[in-house]
Amino acid sequence: MSLLRAAEIRELAAQLDLKPSKSLGQNFVIDGNVCKKIVRVADVRSDDVALEIGPGLGSLTLALLEEASSVVAIEIDSRLATQLPITVAKHSQRAAALTVHTSDALAITSLTVEPTVLVANLPYNVSVPVFLHLLEYFPTLRSGVVMVQAEVADRLAAKPNSREYGIPSVKAAWWADVSGAGSVSRSIFWPAPNVDSKLVSFSRHAPLGDEVLRKKVFAIIDLAFAQRRKMLRATLSPIYGGSAAAEAHLESVGIDGTLRGEALTIHDFCTIAQQVIRSARG
Ligand code: SAM
């Protein structure tokens, strides 16, 4: 197998008459060693079914095919999706292990195979919704590594009481333990983006509850962070019918209503949601 070099990436793009689209976050990795590193950090095993979102011209796909049992790639741009198997056949003996779907990742809710590891250089403008969507719809995803804009990586991996902690951090924590896994220079992309990138790794933990609880937890998270500077007794007052009732209910489960959403862990949000569900059942 040979990884794609910078000149080959540019050649392929010229051949396809591809002008990288900003709105589709088309910044292609031109350094094969970075792709190898991402696959190594993701700890891809020989029995893994790897899911890649946005394979683009195939840099990371080729590195993944070196390690995984098979790769399922989902690419929204049909020109790239059509070219990918051709590129892979040229550079690898493992073309039969690749399946490509032309689709928006957000529209994919099932696959004929069960992916076990997610490895992707995510399109920047939809990285958070795509990441959360995949964790929700593909419970067989055990772990993975995604490359995202540095600021988004910091938000996904943030812990309570930090400036970066917010909706993406808490929702991701519902599904998985998420942590930063290193920085990536903007010079390894073509075209070079005007932001830095970082790797984020995740490892799925045991479910914290069923879908009823998750939906309630996510609704409460949205409310708590909608007005970030406000206290919980104010932001959550619509659920309880007023801030005094909110404060009393929160206190009954050991949560101080004068705190802000940013102080709560995912477990605190679960405690609040469980109490709301119990009250509604009477
Ligand atoms: N994996 C390639 C690499 O590392 O060189 C390309 C990564 S590039 C940052 C993002 C890729 O995601 C592009 O190929 C783009 O066409 C694709 N893409 C953008 N939005 C998408 C979506 N909603 N669903 C699937 N693919 C998408």
The domain over range 6-204 is classified in CATH as 3.40.50.150 = yes
For residue range 97-150, what is the model confidence (pLDDT) as tens digits? Answer: 999 999 999 999 999 999 999 999 999 999 999 999 999 999 999 999 999 999
Q: Which amino acid belongs to residue 217?
A: V
The CA distance from 152 to 123, in Å, is 12
Residue nearest atom 6 of ligand 1, based on CA coordinates = 56
Ligand 1 pocket list (CB less than 6 A): 24-29, 53-57, 59-60, 74-77, 80, 104-106, 121, 123, 126
- The yes-or-no answer to whether 6-204 and 211-281 have a common fold is no
pLDDT at 185 over 90: yes
Residue nearest atom 10 of ligand 1, based on CA coordinates = 123
Collect all residues with Cβ–Cβ distance below 8 Å to 208 and sequence separation of at least 6: 174, 214, 217, 266, 267, 270
For residue range 219-242, what is the model confidence (pLDDT) as tens digits? Answer: 999 999 999 899 999 999 999 999
In the CATH scheme, what is the homologous superfamily, with its name and number, of domain 211-281? rRNA adenine dimethylase, C-terminal domain (1.10.8.100)
Comparing CA positions, the residue from 195, 165, 174 lying closest to residue 259 is: 165
Q: Which of 19, 36, 72, 76 to mutate to test the pocket of ligand 1 (most atoms within 8 A of CB)?
A: 76
- Provide mean pLDDT across the span 24-37: 95
- Domain chopping of the chain, boundaries: 6-204, 211-281
For residue range 186-199, what is the model confidence (pLDDT) as tens digits? Answer: 999 999 999 999 99
Give the position, in ligand 1's atom list, of the atom nearest the Cα of 123: 10
Confidence of residue 200 (pLDDT cuts 50, 70, 90): very high
3-state helix, strand, coil in the chain (%, to 5): 50, 20, 35
